[in-house]
Amino acid sequence: MDSRKAQTHRRIVETAAELFGLQSYQAVNVNQICDRANVNKATLYQHFGSKEALAVATIEHHFERQKADFYEAAMAALPNPVDRLSGIYQRIYQQHLARSDRGESCIGCPFVNILSEMAVGSPAIRDAVQAAFEGLKPYYRLIARDAKVIGYANRELDGDAVSSALIAIMNGAMISAKTENRPEAILENLETAKLILRG
Amino acid sequence: MDSRKAQTHRRIVETAAELFGLQSYQAVNVNQICDRANVNKATLYQHFGSKEALAVATIEHHFERQKADFYEAAMAALPNPVDRLSGIYQRIYQQHLARSDRGESCIGCPFVNILSEMAVGSPAIRDAVQAAFEGLKPYYRLIARDAKVIGYANRELDGDAVSSALIAIMNGAMISAKTENRPEAILENLETAKLILRG
Amino acid sequence: MDSRKAQTHRRIVETAAELFGLQSYQAVNVNQICDRANVNKATLYQHFGSKEALAVATIEHHFERQKADFYEAAMAALPNPVDRLSGIYQRIYQQHLARSDRGESCIGCPFVNILSEMAVGSPAIRDAVQAAFEGLKPYYRLIARDAKVIGYANRELDGDAVSSALIAIMNGAMISAKTENRPEAILENLETAKLILRG
Amino acid sequence: MDSRKAQTHRRIVETAAELFGLQSYQAVNVNQICDRANVNKATLYQHFGSKEALAVATIEHHFERQKADFYEAAMAALPNPVDRLSGIYQRIYQQHLARSDRGESCIGCPFVNILSEMAVGSPAIRDAVQAAFEGLKPYYRLIARDAKVIGYANRELDGDAVSSALIAIMNGAMISAKTENRPEAILENLETAKLILRG
DNA sequence: AATGAATGAGAGTTCATTCAT
DNA sequence: GATGAATGAACTCTCATTCAT
């Protein structure tokens, strides 16, 4: 059961995550977050200390959400590794599609967005994004292992290399979708992901 | 022969391109650009009208530079399409390595950086990045065609799909390099690019 | 009892009203107002949102002051309508005279000043001035009614027409005073005001 | 016959006069004037030395135009002094009406506008306006003299006082028209002018 | 604990004016 | 002599952050 303090904390993080996604870290100001989250500015600063720290919290929040909504969900739905890979792409695509249907433009990957913007200026943010990607790799590593087991992969795969490559192509896919403002671009890169998996 | 005006113009664009790369669009202010380029702020605004317009000019500048230094250079150096693909990756890697040796951290792709930061807020910037990617695709399309000719590709390739996929993996590679602050990550994704080429 | 916020608010409005009067709306910058009022610029903008909004507030401030110091005071001092009209002119003249004695030049009517400068560019300012003039007309209307009652006016007067005419001649008087840098010009136009009242 | 230089001079003054009227002295910038008048900025500065000097020239220009188009025209049209007074008001009203029909808002009197805005900051501008008003008074003085001659005025009029009063009510009329964005307000104050004339 | 009010520093942009060719 | 290019100073407004209650 959430305490009132924890609720406020969550509300701030969720609001910030949403706003950073809709625009960008630097384009969103602390007032907007406070207004939308219905918290006083000083309260926000008591919870997070700085805007940068809040950004780190949003990265962790996105990580937890992506893990649950995309990765765990896809793993739980089907046993076949290729289906699982496909399931991850489908779920991310569906989320982008829903936003697109609401008239919003394609915002891409929250990790890539804040990394591109802030990595050089803020090591803390870079580290948080790196940790998030590391935290997603185990799913790809599992998929790679199973791809060999069922004979989809032609040869023994290097788990590190494959999971890194799959993270890369997923990020590339999100960039394409954002560039062209076209969620379908995500799905189109599933083919490359499968090539990687086949080895 | 460059007129004085053209020289000033170039100096502003090059300085802005460099600074936006070292930090980010929003983190760099117009004063910094003026100081470094040795131009008066009003002069900058007579040349570009707005910071956003200057950003668009830097995107076009990066495009011209990348085309010449990476793509045209790689195409001119060797005839084999796989070597050419490899040449592109090598050249981009070398540039990142040089910066790394100078103690700078890995800044990734200028197109991806500004796109991630500004695509939603500035359609003009998004369009400029999209145009840049489109302008690079012909090189990949040519490589794909030749890959079939020499028998590297297993089957007839869809030029559009392949070039899009190769742009995606290049962007993903740059993201990885930036995330891990490790230029080598670029080269590691050349393997995926080759998989795409093989089909 | 004024809260601290209300005090700050008042200090800003009074300072701005004074400075706008001494120079003009556009000639005074927000920094000058802040310096003189001893307020931070961000504080000013939290209170008023824009320089234009502050200008509107100064117009309302002048209205309240004029109502109290000139119109209510003149009405309270004497019952005879002609004396009251005269009292209004006298009070306004005295104020200008005091400034003149302090070596300041004749600044005219704050409503006319900002209207002349900003009416076309800022409907909000024009509306505020119009409202101020409307708010002063009831005094003239009352004077006109009583002028008939005591037999000063030759005939039944149209309250709207007379009050409008009295506003016009007062404004004309202020223009003359400012043009010639001579407060006496205000008093000289009292004669015309009386003609209007006589009908 | 106008030399090319004199033509340029005229074009600049007329353009500036128009733009200052449409907005205000400070709201119009030198670039706008140059663009609209099709002259180079340095050329403008060779002709006038400063924006303020140009403003003085526009005041003189307005004076010449008003004298010819309103005052001389009204005097030439009819011999009766009351008709002449009426003719002046009618002509000014018609000009405002024409602008109103073109969808422009009521800009008031150019002398009053720039005086209200700049009198305190620029003695040169104040002097130019004062001179303009002085230059118009002879017409009113003539009308006042004739009003006595034909028996319209009840008594011998003080030419100075009457002409000053007529200038004042004309200015007051223009202020009303601008405040209410209603050209008719000009005509409504003709009644007061007649009262002044009757004495 | 919570908040309304305040703040120093700095953002992008524009100005009237002058230089250099 | 005419003009395209440049400039220093100043503009309104906003930021992340902290104080005082």
Terminal C-alpha separation, chain C: 47
pTM score, two decimals? 0.92
Residue D36 pLDDT: 93
How far does CA D185 lie from the centroid of its chain? 16
Q: Quick one: pLDDT band at residue A57, thresholds 50, 70, 90? A: very high
Provide the pLDDT for residue D1.
52
CB within 8 Å: B179 and A133: yes
Closest nucleotide to B6 by C1' from CA = F5
Residue of chain A with shortest Cα separation from B122: A23
Count chain A–chain B contacts defined by CB atoms under 8 A. 145
**How many Å does it take to go from CA B4 to C1' E20?**
11
Kindly indicate the confidence band of residue D131, based on its pLDDT and cuts at 50, 70 and 90: very high
Report the footprint of strand E: residues with C-beta closer than 7 angstroms.
A 4-5, 39-43, 46; B 4, 26, 28-32, 41-42, 45, 49-52; C 3-5, 8, 39-43, 46-47; D 26, 28-31, 41-42, 45, 50-52
- Does the pLDDT value for residue D57 go beyond 70? yes
Answer whether residue D46 shows pLDDT above 80: yes
In sequence order, the 6+-apart residues with CB closer than 8 A to the CB of D116 are C24, C108, C112, C113, C115, C116, C117, C175, C178
Instruction: Give the pLDDT band of residue A6 (cuts 50, 70, 90).
Output: confident
Nearest to D120 among C107, C112, C171 (CB): C107
Check: CB of residue B96 under 8 Å from CB of residue B183.
yes
Closest residue to E1 (CA, C1′): A43
Question: Closest Cα partner for B172 from B197, B191, B189, B187?
Answer: B189
State the pLDDT at residue D199: 84
D80 φ, ψ to 5°? -70, 130
HEC letters along chain D: CCCHHHHHHHHHHHHHHHHHHHCCCCCCCHHHHHHHHCCCHHHHHHHHCCHHHHHHHHHHHHHHHHHHHHHHHHHHHCCCHHHHHHHHHHHHHHHHHHHHHCCCCCCCCHHHHHHHHHCCCCHHHHHHHHHHHHHHHHHHHHHHHHHHHCCCCCCCCCHHHHHHHHHHHHHHHHHHHHHHCCCHHHHHCHHHHHHHHHC
Instruction: Kindly indicate the confidence band of residue A155, based on its pLDDT and cuts at 50, 70 and 90.
Output: confident
Q: What is the per-residue pLDDT across D87-115, written as a single tens digit (0 to 9) for each?
A: 999 999 999 999 999 988 999 999 999 99
Give dist(CA B74, CA B54) in Å, integer: 29
User: C50 beta carbon < 7 A from strand F?
Assistant: yes
Nucleotide nearest to C34 (CA to C1'): E7
Distance CA A178, CA C135 (A): 57
How many whole angstroms separate alpha carbon B170 and alpha carbon D47?
A: 60
Residue A154 has pLDDT above 90, yes or no: no
A58-91: pLDDT as tens digits: 999 999 999 999 999 999 999 999 999 999 999 9
Q: In whole angstroms, what is the distance from residue A191 CA to residue A173 CA?
A: 11
D170 touches chain C (CB under 8 A): yes
Residues of chain B under the 50 pLDDT cut: none
On whether the CB atoms of residues B116 and A112 are closer than 8 A, the answer is yes
- Residue D7 has a pLDDT of 87
Q: How confident is the model at residue A2 (pLDDT cuts 50, 70, 90)?
A: low
Residue A136 near residue B179 (C-beta atoms within 8 A)? no
For B162-175, what is each residue's pLDDT tens digit?
A: 999 999 999 999 99
Closest nucleotide relative to residue B48's CA, C1' based: E13
* Coil vs helix vs strand at A5: helix
**Sign, CA torsion C68/C69/C75/C76:** positive
- Give the number of other Cβ atoms within 10 Å of residue D184's Cβ: 13
How far is the C-alpha of A129 from the C-alpha of C7, rounded, in Å? 48
pLDDT, one tens digit per residue, over A94-137 is: 999 999 999 889 999 999 999 999 999 999 999 999 999 999 99
What's the pLDDT score for residue A93?
A: 97
- Work out the number of other CB atoms within 10 angstroms of the CB of residue D75: 16
* Distant-in-sequence, close-in-space partners of A133: CB < 8 Å, separation ≥ 6: A111, A167, B179
> CB within 8 A of B192, min separation 6: which ones?
A165, A168, A169, A192, A195, A196, B169
pLDDT of residue A149: 94
**Which pLDDT band holds residue A191 (cuts at 50, 70, 90)?**
very high
Protein CA at C31 to nucleotide C1' at F11, angstroms = 10
On whether any CB of chain C is under 8 Å from the CB of D154, the answer is no
Name residues of chain C where pLDDT drops below 50: none
Mention every residue, 6+ apart, whose C-beta is less than 8 A from residue D84: D74, D75, D77, D78, D143, D146
Chains C and D touch (3+ CB pairs under 8 A): yes
Q: Is the pLDDT of residue D45 over 70?
A: yes
Instruction: Identify whether the C-beta of residue B197 lies closer than 8 Å to the C-beta of residue B85.
Output: yes
Do at least 3 CB pairs under 8 Å connect A with B? yes
- Sequence-ordered alpha helix ranges (H) in C49-189: 51-66, 73-77, 81-101, 110-118, 123-149, 159-180, 184-188
Q: Please name which of D193, D83, D81, D190 lies closest in space to residue D144, comparing C-alpha atoms.
A: D81
In whole angstroms, F5 C1' to B124 CA is: 27
Backbone angles phi, psi at C16, to 5 degrees: -60, -45
